[in-house]
Amino acid sequence: MKKVTTDQGSVSMYVYFCTEPEGKNFASDFKPELSPQQMLELGVFGGCYFDGVPAEFPKKWFHKAKLSKDSFPHKELNYFGVLASQPLSVWQEKGWIHNDDPKGWFQWYCRYYRGRRHADDARQIRRWRMMQRHLSQIAQSCRPKDIVCRPRQRQAVLHWAYDSRKI
């Protein structure tokens, strides 16, 4: 078991424990196709999901990450060259944010991938599974591996660790 202490900015310090090996022992209905490192290297969230490089995550995740230099999302940093996410304020208004993961789903996923297990896991995995409808829409509307077809939808599912380049 590994103890992780992190500074969440204006939020108080947060401590969690990694009880599973990194990248292993996921819930049986949770099979992400990309690791957090792969997602960051491909280009997600316009390069500005985190403010800088969080000390709680391995530095190697960020060596080749496409990051914004000014804390604003830039579509050219995304793999598909489009912006495909709503601002954090929208997620907060809709009640999709858990206090322990104030940055949202990707922060939860990074911590889950590291080995943290949490009371919010089932809800987050359910939300991840709901993105499969977008995969079906891409498959039904696009020729196989036509990555210029539906770029915004492809970028959106990339944000949820689905690799739409394979469809």
pTM across the whole model: 0.94
Block residue for tokens 């530095």: 59
pLDDT in the model for residue 68: 94
Nearest residue to 101 via CA among 69, 56, 34, 42: 56
Distance of CA 82 to the CA centre of its chain: 16
Q: Across the strands, what pairs with 11?
A: 8
Rounded distance between C-alpha atoms, residue 95 and residue 50, angstroms:
20
Q: What percent of the chain has pLDDT over 90?
A: 81
Task: Summarize pLDDT for 149-163 with one digit per residue, the tens.
Answer: 999 999 999 999 999
Q: How many CB atoms are located within 10 Å of the residue 115 CB?
A: 19
